[in-house]
Amino acid sequence: MALDKQKLYDGLVEAFKKGIETQSVSGGEEGETESKYNKGDVAGFIADAIVSYASDAEILLLTGPFLIPVAPSPIPDVANTGQKVKVKTADVGKPALKSAIEASFNSMDPVMGLITTGIMAYIPASFTVFQGTTGNIATGATAPTVPPVLAPCTALGMAGSEKEDIVNLMANIIHATFKASIFNGVGTTVAAGVGPVIAQPLL
């Protein structure tokens, strides 16, 4: 697995479709409708889409060396160097991300700046532990280096573009931010090798 822009796009399309669903007003006049979901619900759907996409992120166990502590001197764990490990903490920052998206809706934020801030906070909060299927682990911190500036999505909408085109642009912008994020930390291999994991981009 790895970060898949199409998965993000599909999730965002579904979230926004739910956002415009309506239902009959209980006790209202015939044909009277209201939104099926409130702003908090829609913010949750968007956060779900982003986190589901982000949950597939991986890094490589590099640069090492990952040294196995054996006598008379440590030896490098060549077999596990460069193996992929997948994020295990993607849900950690989800509540704060949802809150940021909802705040953007409530403030009628025209450039979605609060969503940008929310994503920039979500990444370091949620990309701290990676683990491979064999048991290799990396722990540390992930820094986003390219903010997801979403103002062009607003401009596209005001120009009358199709919803799918707007969501596609949004997915491209968010995907670029995740792909430009860098992890630094420490790796521990299944063979007990320990070493640095340096400047690894999210895959």
The DSSP string of 141-196 is: EEE--S----HHHHHHHHTT--HHHHHHHHHHHHHHHHHT-EEEEEEE-TTS-EEE
pLDDT of residue 31: 64
The pair phi, psi for residue 116, each rounded to 5°, is -55, -50
Say whether pLDDT at 92 is over 80: yes
Which of 19-23, 26-30, 119-123 is the most confident on average? 119-123
Say whether pLDDT at 155 is over 70: yes
pLDDT of residue 73: 92
99-152 confidence digits (pLDDT tens): 999 999 999 988 999 999 999 999 999 999 999 999 999 999 999 999 999 999
pTM to 2 decimal places: 0.92
Nearest residue to 56 (alpha-carbon basis) of 143, 126, 144, 120: 126
- Which burial class, exposed, middle or buried, applies to 29 when counting CB atoms under 10 A from its CB (0-12, 13-18, 19+)? exposed
Nearest residue to 89 (alpha-carbon basis) of 194, 183, 5, 176: 183
**Overall average pLDDT of the 163-177 stretch:** 96
Where does the pLDDT of residue 169 fall: very low under 50, low under 70, confident under 90, or very high at 90 and above? very high
Q: How far apart are CA 126 and CA 20, in angstroms?
A: 29
3-7, 75-79, 92-96, 106-110: range with lowest mean pLDDT: 106-110
pLDDT of residue 30: 66
18-32, 34-48, 105-119: range with lowest mean pLDDT: 18-32
Q: How far apart are CA 202 and CA 144, in angstroms?
A: 10
Domain ranges of the chain: 5-201
**142 close to 130: Cβ distance less than 8 angstroms:** no
**Overall average pLDDT of the 6-35 stretch:** 81
pLDDT of residue 71: 81
